Amino acid sequence: MSVQASSIYTIEIIYRGIHQRHLARNLARGIVYAARMAGNVALSYQRYGDDPERDGSPAKYFVVVAKGASEEVLDAEAARVEPDYVDASIVLDDTILKGVESWAWQGIQPVHLKLRLVVY
C-alpha cells in the first residue's frame, strides 16, 4: 500500500532538562495512544544533542502519526535524525521560544523554522 506524504503527520515537543523530559515523554505517549485508539499507526522517539540528563540541555521528542500506513513506513520516517518539516511544534520551556540549537550545532534556529504551513 502506498502512502501519500500528506497522510504522515509529525509533531515535535521541545523541552529542556530532566524535569520537562518526563512531561514531554508523557505528552508524546498520550498522543501516540490517542492516535492508535483512532485506528492510525503512530510512534514516538527522542532526539537530543547532548546528555538529556543535564538540567539545561534542550532536547526534542517527535511523534509520527500515519493514516493507512504500516509500521515499516513509520520506522523509515523515524530513522532520520530530524524531519524536514513538522505539522505541530509544542514548546515546554518559554526560554526556548527565542530559538534552539539545531542538530550538528549550526547555530540557534527559530522554533518555527520547520513548521509546515498549510494554505487553503
- pLDDT for 103 equals 56
Q: How far apart are CA 6 and CA 45, in angstroms?
A: 20
Inside any domain, residue 120 = no
- The answer to whether residue 72 sits within a structural domain is yes
Q: Which residue has the higher pLDDT, 16 or 100?
A: 16
Query: 17 φ, ψ to 5°?
Result: 80, 175
What is the model's pLDDT at position 77? 78
Residue 59 lies in a domain: yes
In a domain, residue 118? The reply is no
Residue 90 lies in a domain: yes
- The per-residue pLDDT for 28 is 95
Would residue 26 count as lying in a domain?
yes
Predicted model pTM:
0.79
Higher pLDDT, 115 or 103: 115
Q: What is the Cα Rg of the chain in Å?
A: 14
Is residue 116 assigned to a domain?
no
Tell me the average pLDDT of the chain: 79
Q: How far apart are the first and last CA of the chain?
A: 28
Residue 104 domain boundaries = 5-111
Total domains present in the chain: 1
The C-alpha cell at 74 is 513509520
The pLDDT value given to residue 104: 54
